[in-house]
Amino acid sequence: MEQRSTLDTLIPLARQARYLGRYRQIVQVLTKQGFGYLLSQLGLYRLLALPYRTIRNDQSSALSAAARLRLAMVELGPTFIKMGQVLSTRPDLLSAEFIGELSKLQSTVPPFPTEQAVAVIEQELGRPPAAIYEHFDVEPIAAASIGQVYRAYLPGGRKVAVKVQRPEIANVITTDLAIISDLAALAQQSNLFGPQYDLVELAREFSTSMRDELDYQREAMNTDQMQRNFRTNPLVRIPEVFWGYSSSRVLTIEWIDGIKINDLAALDAAGIDRRALARHSLEIVIEQIYIHGFFHGDPHPGNIFALPQDRIGAIDFGQVGAIDRTTRRQIVLLMLALVNNNPDGTVRALVGLNVLDRHAVTDALRRDVVRFMQRYVGRPLQELSVSAISTDLIDLLHRHKLRLPSPVALLLKSLITMEGTAKLLYPDMDLFAVARPMLQRVAGELLGPQQLANDALLYGQELGDVLIGLPRQMDRLLYQAGQGDLLIRTHEEELRRVASALSAAASKLALAIVLLGLLVALGLLSIAYTVGAWHGLAPLVLAAVGGVAIFVVGFLLLVTLIRGNGR
Identify whether the C-beta of residue 40 lies closer than 8 Å to the C-beta of residue 57.
no
- Hey, what's the torsion of the CAs at 276, 277, 283, 284, to 10 degrees? 150
Amino acid at 480: Q
Q: 78: which residues sit within 8 A by CB, 6+ positions away?
A: 107, 109, 145, 146, 169, 172, 173
Half-sphere exposure of 274 (CA within 13 A, CB side): 19
Instruction: Supply φ then ψ for residue 526, to 5 degrees.
Output: -65, -40
Let me know how many helices (H) and strands (E) the chain has, helices first. 23, 11
Amino acid at 42: L
Taken in order 514, 515, 519, 522, the sign of the CA dihedral is positive
Q: Active site includes 298?
A: yes
Nearest alpha carbon to residue 167 among 215, 125, 112:
112
Q: 153: which residues sit within 8 A by CB, 6+ positions away?
A: 133, 134, 135, 136, 159, 160
Q: How far apart are CA 526 and CA 524, in angstroms?
A: 5
Indicate the SS3 state at residue 517.
Answer: helix
Q: How far apart are CA 479 and CA 356, in angstroms?
A: 38
Q: How far apart are CA 534 and CA 35, in angstroms?
A: 84
Element (H, E) at 494: helix 492-530
Q: How far apart are CA 374 and CA 396, in angstroms?
A: 14
Identify whether the C-beta of residue 153 lies closer than 8 Å to the C-beta of residue 134.
yes
Length of the chain, please? 567
* Residue 350 vs residues 71, 331, 334, 441, 448: alpha-carbon distances, Å: 36, 9, 7, 22, 21
Catalytic residue among 92, 182, 298, 316: 298
Q: How far apart are CA 418 and CA 431, in angstroms?
A: 10
Indicate the SS3 state at residue 253.
Answer: strand
Specify which residues 142 forms β-bridges with.
149
Identify whether the C-beta of residue 249 lies closer than 8 Å to the C-beta of residue 119.
no
Active site residues: 298
